[in-house]
Amino acid sequence: MKRWVKMSKSINVIGGGLAGCEAAWQIAKRGIKVNLYEMKPFKYTPAHSNKNLCELVCSNSFKAERVDSASGLLKEEMRTLDSLVLSCADKCKVPAGGALAVDREKFSALVTEKIQNSELIEIKSEEIVSLPQEGINIIATGPLTSKPLSESIKEALGGNLSFFDAAAPIVTFDSIDMNHAFFASRYGKGNADDYLNCPLSEKEYKIFYNQLINAERAPLHDVDIKDINVYEGCMPVEIMAKRGVDTLRYGPMKPVGLRDPRSEARPFAVVQLRKETLSGNLYNMVGFQTNLKFGEQKRVFSLIPALKNLNIVRYGVMHRNMFINSPKLLNKDYSLRSNPNIFFAGQITGVEGYIESASSGMIAGINASRRYKSKDSVYFSNETIMGALASYISEEFRRDFQPMGANFGIIAPTKDKKLRYSEFARRSIEYLKNIKI
């Protein structure tokens, strides 16, 4: 078992995902050396396959760009504070209507290049198997933390929580039958070719629906099925469908805002595909996270007329995610109450989403740097999405803690109800432009 060696002249960041890379970047920006530990390429989790840092496992979308949306405001907050993740994402965009989506391979490669080129960041390809006790450390190992380290965290912190989430299939463009598909964004937002739509008639939808809810699911190892808690934002499509025959038509298969140009009518249901690469050779099935067996994915999704010949290059998978009971354990700067020199960041803290994870890494990196320089922590205001998320995961009164993504329900209210969303954005950015960090 690896023994932890004290490195007093640097800060250690464990985990090379979005939170870890953002944290390392923020520390290096402040003139402090960083040891960034990432166990790839020597060891991979069941959901990872790319040797580069910042691999996107589920969707390639970072959600809405509009600054008057919670997700869009969070991005703008992070851009204001010079986020590595957002600067790289902006350079690797693929068309996605009103969302920010990226070519995941280019994005991962660009983040890796930026980190490798930093004179103050040293990447160490090693697995850390126990919670470090010396020096200043940020644990950003994600929801798929390796078993030895997760056991060490569990032992040190008095247990952990877990849930399951899923990824959607990715298909080749040349396998899509364009006689049964059309390009369009809902209500004409964004560019016309941002989404590829696969319509279904009522008869086609009912055949698809019945096969979907009766398809065979892949086994989940080392878990009792009755104990599974599936996060709503990553609900497998086959589980969602079992809530009712029209559930998908009000969810990922909703036809609103779309017209089939061949009939000028709204489809009964529609599957949307979004570019996975800028070249458009790969597309992912939006909202179609799944845990069906691979053969069943091919069989059932081929019932969608436009996908009758589909070629799946990455099948959907479902995997265990872990997060700590942060309200009992963490301060608002993401440090441990029991040991302020240990910070946690990313989905392991219970923030849910790519950019949310990166934002927690940003806050942890900023405050680990301040801890290193013997300065007090900066607690971001709840007038910002960043600060509101940090409050949500650290408020001690919270019971039955569950992951939380960016939303305006957790942000401090504004007096101007009529203009509240634009006021949220104005207030937040003004605060961050004046904060001393």
Provide the strand spans (E) within 67-111: 93-94, 99-102
Mean pLDDT (the chain, rounded): 89
Give the pLDDT confidence score for residue 218 in this predicted structure: 87
| pLDDT higher than threshold 80 for residue 419 | no
Decide: residue 33, CB within 10 A, 0-12 exposed, 13-18 middle, 19+ buried.
middle
Q: Looking at the structure, do residues 315 and 331 belong to the same domain, yes or no?
A: no
Q: Looking at the structure, do residues 14 and 156 belong to the same domain, yes or no?
A: yes
Distance CA 85, CA 66 (A): 18
Give the pLDDT confidence score for residue 417 in this predicted structure: 64
Strands of 99-102's sheet in order across:
61-64, 99-102, 93-94
Total structural domains within the chain: 2
Q: Looking at the structure, do residues 71 and 208 belong to the same domain, yes or no?
A: no
pLDDT (tens digit per residue) in 373-404: 999 999 999 999 999 999 999 988 876 677 78
Distance CA 346, CA 328 (A): 17
Give the pLDDT confidence score for residue 231 in this predicted structure: 58
Distance CA 351, CA 321 (A): 12
Q: Looking at the structure, do residues 179 and 134 belong to the same domain, yes or no?
A: no
Give the pLDDT confidence score for residue 222 in this predicted structure: 45
CA distances from 383 to 179, 263, 404, 408 (A): 49, 47, 17, 10
Six-digit token string for 239? 């589980």
Distance CA 108, CA 54 (A): 5
Give the pLDDT confidence score for residue 266 in this predicted structure: 95
Q: Looking at the structure, do residues 153 and 20 belong to the same domain, yes or no?
A: yes
Q: Looking at the structure, do residues 299 and 400 belong to the same domain, yes or no?
A: no
Of the listed ranges 163-177, 192-206, 288-302, the least confidently predicted one is 163-177
| Residue corresponding to tokens 């970072």 | 62
Give the pLDDT confidence score for residue 126 in this predicted structure: 93
Q: Looking at the structure, do residues 211 and 295 belong to the same domain, yes or no?
A: yes
Give the pLDDT confidence score for residue 7 in this predicted structure: 42
Angle at Cα 351 formed by Cα 110 and Cα 82, nearest 5°?
40
415 within domain boundaries = yes
Among 257, 289, 319, the domain-final residue is 319
Instruction: Identify which has the larger pLDDT, 228 or 288.
Output: 288
Instruction: Identify which has the larger pLDDT, 174 or 177.
Output: 177
Report percent pLDDT > 90 for the chain.
Answer: 68
Write the DSSP symbol of residue 346: S
4 within domain boundaries = no
pLDDT (tens digit per residue) in 27-59: 999 999 999 999 988 776 766 667 899 999 878
Q: Which residue range is the domain that position 215 belongs to?
A: 170-319
71 within domain boundaries = yes
**pLDDT band at residue 413 under the 50/70/90 scheme:** confident
1 within domain boundaries = no
pLDDT (tens digit per residue) in 332-381: 999 999 999 999 999 999 898 999 999 999 999 999 999 999 999 999 99
Q: What is the mean pLDDT of residues 67-74?
A: 94
Give the pLDDT confidence score for residue 17 in this predicted structure: 95
Q: Looking at the structure, do residues 308 and 333 belong to the same domain, yes or no?
A: no
Report percent pLDDT > 70 for the chain.
Answer: 92
Six-digit token string for 331? 């301060």
Q: Looking at the structure, do residues 374 and 388 belong to the same domain, yes or no?
A: yes
Give the pLDDT confidence score for residue 225 in this predicted structure: 42
CA distances from 177 to 7, 37, 199, 283, 310 (A): 57, 45, 12, 13, 8
Q: Looking at the structure, do residues 24 and 61 belong to the same domain, yes or no?
A: yes
Q: Looking at the structure, do residues 90 and 124 belong to the same domain, yes or no?
A: yes
Alpha helices in 319-400 (DSSP H): 326-329, 354-372, 385-394
User: What CATH code is carried by the domain that includes residue 55?
Assistant: 3.50.50.60
Give the pLDDT confidence score for residue 196 in this predicted structure: 96
| pLDDT higher than threshold 50 for residue 61 | yes
Q: Looking at the structure, do residues 241 and 295 belong to the same domain, yes or no?
A: yes
With residue 148 as reference, give the H or E element that holds it: helix 147-157
Give the pLDDT confidence score for residue 397 in this predicted structure: 80
Distance CA 42, CA 27 (A): 26
229 within domain boundaries = yes
Six-digit token string for 180? 């049964």
**pLDDT band at residue 221 under the 50/70/90 scheme:** low
User: What CATH code is carried by the domain that includes residue 179?
Assistant: 2.40.30.260
Q: What is the mean pLDDT of residues 192-216?
A: 95
Give the pLDDT confidence score for residue 279 in this predicted structure: 77
Six-digit token string for 368? 């680990």
